[in-house]
A and B are shown apart, each in its own frame.
Chain A
Amino acid sequence: ETGVTQTPRHLVMGMTNKKSLKCEQHLGHNAMYWYKQSAKKPLELMFVYSLEERVENNSVPSRFSPECPNSSHLFLHLHTLQPEDSALYLCASSPRQGRHTDTQYFGPGTRLTVL
């Protein structure tokens, strides 16, 4: 595997379910990101991790809970979601956090549908 991978690619869940999204980067990067992408809206940065430490949390509801056990893996735990949370969830990584010259590399995303 190369680059940034995300599983599952598609997820349908009810509002009372608990599920997790997984992201893995094979690039040796130190920073990882979760974004939400809704149709015809800009990407919304949700969380940023640098060397497994959360450095950014952009007013995301507590029903989204990130976890970064090491610099290669990032999880997004989901519980009691709302239909408006349906979106494409993108994971990205970059060599370092907070350097404008460091490109972010994105995974293919998880398409989440909340019923």
Chain B
Amino acid sequence: QKEVEQDPGPLSVPEGAIVSLNCTYSNSAFQYFMWYRQYSRKGPELLMYTYSSGNKEDGRFTAQVDKSSKYISLFIRDSQPSDSATYLCARIEGSNYQLIWGAGTKLIIKP
């Protein structure tokens, strides 16, 4: 089973809140995960990637991998209306390093 599962949302939170976006995966030989952000009428853009377990921080964004529970999380601190977008998680699969995608979670930050 290759799937990456995401709650489609929408997730609506007030400006300034801490946002938690989550994905679960079934199995992965490669502990390499990515978060992409997709604004309306645009293509996805890489936000962060993580390798193996633990946290990775980049400004207001923190990516977390919990291998034991097969859970991937993206936290956004001090959320802004400009963070409103769809967030896609993905993992690497196979010897050709194909990306396996989640369906995305739509996030709305209310001013």
In the complex, identify which listed stretch (B12-20, B43-51, B58-66) lies at the interface while the others stay far away.
Answer: B43-51
Q: Closest Cβ of chain B: how far from A60's Cβ, in Å?
A: 14
**B11 interface contact, C-beta 8 A:** no
Q: Closest Cβ of chain A: how far from B58's Cβ, in Å?
A: 14
**B107 interface contact, C-beta 8 A:** no
Greatest chain B CB density within 10 A among A42, A98, A105 is at A42
Q: Within 8 Å CB of B102, what residues of A?
A: 42
Given A42-B4, A42-B103, A108-B41, decide whether A103 and B46 contact each other with a Cβ distance below 8 A: yes
Q: Within 8 Å CB of B43, what residues of A?
A: 4, 90, 92, 106-109
Q: In the complex, which residue of chain A has the Cβ closest to the Cβ of B100?
A: A42
**A43 interface contact, C-beta 8 A:** yes
Q: Complex Cα distance A92/B98, Å?
A: 13
Residues B46 and A45 in contact, CB atoms below 8 Å apart: no
Greatest chain B CB density within 10 A among A40, A92, A100 is at A100
Q: Complex Cα distance A114/B86, Å?
A: 25
Q: Complex Cα distance A56/B46, Å?
A: 22
Q: In the complex, which residue of chain A has the Cβ closest to the Cβ of B45?
A: A106
State which of A42, A92, A100 has its C-beta within 8 Å of the C-beta of B30. Answer: A100
Q: Closest Cβ of chain A: how far from B31's Cβ, in Å?
A: 10
Given A42-B101, A100-B30, A100-B32, decide whether A56 and B96 contact each other with a Cβ distance below 8 A: yes
Q: Which of B83-100 contact A (CB under 8 A)?
A: 88, 92, 95-100
Residues A45 and B96 in contact, CB atoms below 8 Å apart: no
10 contacts between A and B (CB under 8 A): A42-B103, A43-B44, A56-B98, A90-B43, A97-B96, A98-B95, A100-B30, A100-B32, A100-B92, A106-B43
**4 nearest CB pairs, A to B:** A106-B43, A42-B101, A43-B101, A100-B97
Other 11 A-B pairs with CB < 8 A, given A42-B3, A45-B99, A98-B97: A4-B43, A40-B8, A41-B103, A43-B44, A90-B43, A98-B96, A99-B97, A100-B92, A103-B46, A106-B45, A109-B41
> What residues make up the interface of B, taking CB atoms closer than 8 Å to A?
3-4, 8, 30, 32, 41-46, 88, 92, 95-104
